[in-house]
Chains A and B, each alone.
Chain A
C-alpha cells in the first residue's frame, strides 16, 4: 500500500511542473501568441528560485523569486514580439537559448550548494489518515497551486467576460481590434502570466523536486509543456490529463528500468512521449471541437494600422 501511495506521490511531483508551465502557455496561446521560450523561462525560474532560497534561507522567498524571474524574463519576449512585432517563433527560440545560457552563468556559484525545500503540507489529523491523507493533505504547496490554477484558468477562460475577450483576440486579432479591444494590452498580460507560470514551474524543480541547482535542470520539460498545450487542443482539463499521463508513464518506466525489464531502456524512455501523444490525439478526435478551440491567429504578429 505504501509503495502505491509513494508512486502516486512521485507521479504528482513529476506532473506538477509540466501542468503549471502548460497552463500558463495555454493562456498565452489562447490570446494568439506563441511563446516558444517556456524552457528558458522555466530554467530562469529555477535558478532564481534556488538562488533566493539559498541566499535568504526561506523557500517561500525563493518561490516568489521564481515567479518574478519568469515574469520579468517573459517581458523581454513581450516587448520584442508585441511592441516591436518581431517573429514569435524566432524570438521564442532565442529566449530559450538565452535562458539556458544565462541561468548557467548566474548559477555557477550555486552548484553543489545545499538548497532549501518547500515543506509539505501537514494538517494534524488529516495528513495522517492512511492512504488518502498523504495524497490529499500531505503534498507540497505547489501541487495545490497547480490544481487551483487549472480550475481558475478554466473558469476564467470560459465563464468570464474577460476570458471571452481573450479568446476572441486569439481567434482574430483584426476583428478584436476593429471592435475596440486593446489587443496588445491583453497579450502583454497573457505573456507575463505565462512567464510567471513557467517561472513557478521552474521553482518547483529547484525548491521541491530536487532542492539544488544543476545546470539545464529543466531537462526539456518546457518543450513537453508546449507540446501538451497543442495536443490538448488548448483545453485546460486535457492539459491536466496530459501532464498526469506523462508523469505516470514517466515514473512507471523508471520503475520498469529499475526492475530490469528486458526492453531496451531507450524504448522505455520514449514511452511517456508516445503514450501522451496517443492518448491526447485520441481524445482530440473530434475535428470540429479541435477547430473551435484552436486560436486561429496563433503566432501572427499584430500591427494595428493607424
Chain B
C-alpha cells in the first residue's frame, strides 16, 4: 500500500499540470462554445445555444480563412511529399557529399520560422527602393514583376505555399531517407538478377516498402497544414485579415487578441470546427491507408 501511494507521488506533477492545462480546458472549450454573448470582463453570458457556431460560419473572415487553409493544404501536402520523395531517392542513390546534402537540407528545421519568414518577405517584396530579388529574376527572364506580399491573391498564395513547403521539407526528407535506407537490399538484388527495369523496381519494391512512411507523412502533413499560422504571420504581418491571408488557426487567435480578453466563445466554436475538420480528414486518411498500405 505504501508503494502505491509513492507511485502516485511520482505522477502527481504531471497529472496536476495536465489536469489544469489540458483536461480542464478540453471541457471548458466545449462549454464556452455554447455560451451565447459571453462577456470576458464580467464573466457572464446571456444564454446557451448554437449561436456562436452560426456566427463563425457566417463570418466572411472565417470563410476566407477556411478557403486559404484548404488551398494551403491541397497545394503543399502533395507537392512537398512528392518533392521530398524525389530528393530522398536522389540522396539514397549517391554516396559522395551525402552527409553534406543531408545537413544542408535539414537547416530549415532548426531555424526560427518568424525570422526566416522575414528574409522571404524581403526577397519577394516590392518597395520604393527595389523591386526585390525575385521580381528582378522574373524581369530578367522577360516576365512582369508583381508584389508578392501586398499584391494579387494568387501571388500571395504562391509565396505562402512556397514558404510552407520550404519549412516542412526537412522533416519529410529525413523520414523518407531513413525509410529508404531500411528497405532490405535482398529484394533489389533479386530483382536485378531477374533483369527488372528500374521503374518497375521503384513501383513494385520501393513504393510498397515505404508506403507506411508516406502515409504517415501525408497524415501528419495534413494535420500540420491545417494548423498553418506562424508562417503566414512571418510573411504578411500580424493583421492577416487585412491581408486576406488568414487561416483557421489565425482566426481563432485573432478572436482572443481583441480588447478586454476578446471573444473566447467565438474562438472556441472556430477551434472546435477546425478540430472536426482535421479529425474527419485524418479518419479518411487512415481508412485509405488501411486499404492501400501493403505491409
A and B part of one assembly: no
Q: Which residues of A are at the interface with B, using a C-beta cutoff of 8 A?
A: none
